[in-house]
């Protein structure tokens, strides 16, 4: 009798397992054939200039998978769409997921150009905070710090090796962009023939001789104090040159 009961228990579990599998298969089949109702695209800019818009993402999705709305959810390859969007130079991060209501959500984070580099041959490219090069947008320019002067075209094709010109420009631009006063005041970095830097501010008709990126924090501290206790009292256009290259001194040349 005990043996018969054990057999009955086994048969019962097999039946339940089979029923569960059938039910799950039915649910998955139903979900597979449910159609996509809507596609929601969110782009995060972090207060930076808009370089990437909804139409750009929609175009990528159409090329990767065709029209989403009305398509069976089972035929939507989210990974393929993610990879296609991630290939766009202005995309830093992308995440795609679907809701129980058969809506597709596409969350995108835009890269933020930090510096526009213009070579001596007028070739232009953006540099972002992570050290990535980004192409210029033909219709939507980013209002960022500009680097000009003695920058060869080859420099914008080199990797970010330590102590290279691009690494120094990235280091300098990062410091400026992270400082509220400097970010508002500095307009341009000029690269001299000796691969040193001159800064051109937005306010004040003068040029700041900065030198290399050594002792950068000390140099900017000197400049800030000179602005606060010097130019604020005698006028911002009195000097033509402000030299902060040397330790513990600021050397100025009158206009």
Span 145-195, pLDDT tens digits? 999 999 988 887 766 666 688 899 999 999 999 999 999 999 999 999 999
pLDDT of residue 162: 61
Q: Which tokens is 181 given?
A: 């006063």
- Does 113-254 match 38-110 at the fold level? no
Q: What does the alpha-carbon distance between residue 7 and residue 9 come to, in Å, rounded to a whole number?
A: 5
Name which of 74, 67, 62, 73 is nearest 36 in CA terms. 73
Helix ranges (H only) for the chain are: 2-33, 54-65, 78-86, 165-178, 180-185, 216-226, 232-234
**What confidence category does residue 8 fall into, taking pLDDT thresholds of 50, 70 and 90?**
very low
pLDDT of residue 154: 83
pLDDT of residue 235: 72
Question: Domain residue spans in the chain?
Answer: 38-110, 113-254
Answer whether CATH 3.10.20.310 is correct for domain 38-110: yes
**What digits encode the pLDDT tens for the residues 10-64?**
444 444 444 444 434 434 455 566 888 999 999 999 888 999 999 999 999 999 9
pLDDT of residue 249: 86
Q: What does the alpha-carbon distance between residue 242 and residue 220 come to, in Å, rounded to a whole number?
A: 12
Q: pLDDT exceeding 70 applies to what percent of the chain?
A: 84
pLDDT of residue 216: 94
| Matching CATH number, 113-254, of 3.40.190.10, 3.40.220.10, 3.40.50.11690, 1.10.1370.10 | 3.40.50.11690
Contact yes or no for 51/128 (Cβ under 8 A) = no
């Amino acid at each position: 009798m005990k043996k018969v009961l054990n057999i009955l228990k086994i048969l019962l579990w097999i039946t339940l397992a089979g029923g569960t599998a059938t039910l799950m298969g039915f649910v998955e089949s139903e979900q597979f054939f449910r159609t996509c109702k809507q596609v929601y695209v969110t782009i995060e800019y972090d207060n930076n200039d808009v370089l990437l818009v909804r139409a750009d993402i929609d175009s990528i999705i159409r090329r990767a998978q065709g029209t989403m709305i009305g398509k069976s959810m089972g035929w939507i390859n989210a990974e393929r769409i993610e990879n296609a969007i991630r290939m766009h130079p202005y995309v830093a991060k992308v995440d795609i997921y679907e809701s129980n209501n058969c809506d597709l959500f596409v969350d995108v984070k835009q890269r933020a150009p930090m510096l526009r580099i213009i070579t001596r041959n007028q070739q232009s490219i953006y540099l972002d905070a992570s050290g990535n090069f980004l192409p210029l947008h033909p219709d939507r320019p980013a209002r960022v710090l500009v680097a000009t002067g003695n920058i060869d075209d080859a420099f914008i094709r080199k990797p970010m090796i330590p102590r290279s010109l691009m690494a120094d420009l990235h280091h300098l631009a990062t410091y400026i962009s992270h400082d509220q006063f400097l970010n508002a005041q500095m307009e341009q970095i000029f690269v001299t023939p000796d691969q040193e830097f001159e800064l051109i501010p937005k306010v004040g008709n003068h040029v700041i001789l900065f030198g290399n990126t050594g002792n950068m924090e000390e140099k900017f501290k000197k400049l800030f104090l000179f602005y606060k206790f010097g130019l604020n009292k005698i006028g911002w256009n009195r000097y033509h040159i402000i030299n902060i290259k040397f330790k513990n001194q600021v050397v100025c040349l009158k206009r």
